[in-house]
Amino acid sequence: MKLKVLTLIIAVAFLSSCEGESKKAKEVSETQVIAKKVVEVDPMKDKGIGPITSIALSEVDEVMAAEGKEVFKTKCSACHKMSKRFVGPGLAGVTERRTPEWIMNMILNPEEMVAKNPLAKKLLAEYLSPMANQNLTENEARLILEYFRTVPSK
């Protein structure tokens, strides 16, 4: 009798845990579906959310790019490499994939971006670590953008 009760308890425990698992799995797939549905904007038209609404680019300024590289090294390189995927995405050729405004907004306003911007949300789902806010100034973000422009995708 005792044994029967014990088995029953174990069985119930198992069942309920299985139920939990399947529920979780369902939730995950649902969010993925939603994410997929929304990401149909042309990335090169998405300016993102943040302080930068419009920016005009001219020829690459090598001095600015060099300064940008230094800022990048201190504030960003712990998570981003140019050549490869790391904690965050590899960044070589990022200016070919994203608008300059989106890039700067992602640097300056990452919390809101990963919460609301479909492209950023998709990246978060893929990389799991949310983009950190390193409290850069607009000028520093601009310098980094200039640096990015000098590193094309291979």
**One of 35, 61, 79, 93 touching other proteins (CB under 8 A):** 79
Give the range of 14-22, 32-40, 46-54, 67-75 binding other proteins by CB under 8 A: 67-75
Q: Is 78 a binder of other proteins (CB under 8 A)? A: yes
What three-state secondary structure class fits 143?
helix
Contacts of 51 (CB under 8 A, 6+ apart): 105, 108, 109, 138
Question: What count of residues does the chain have?
Answer: 154
**One of 61, 86, 112, 150 touching other proteins (CB under 8 A):** 86
Q: Is 106 a binder of other proteins (CB under 8 A)? A: no
Rounded to a whole number of angstroms, the distance between the first and last alpha carbons of the chain is: 70
* 105 neighbors 113 (Cβ within 8 angstroms): yes
Contact track, other proteins, 133-152, x by CB under 8 A:
xxxx----------------
**One of 61, 81, 93, 122 touching other proteins (CB under 8 A):** 81
The footprint of other proteins (CB under 8 A) covers 72-75, 77-79, 81-83, 86-87, 128-130, 132-136
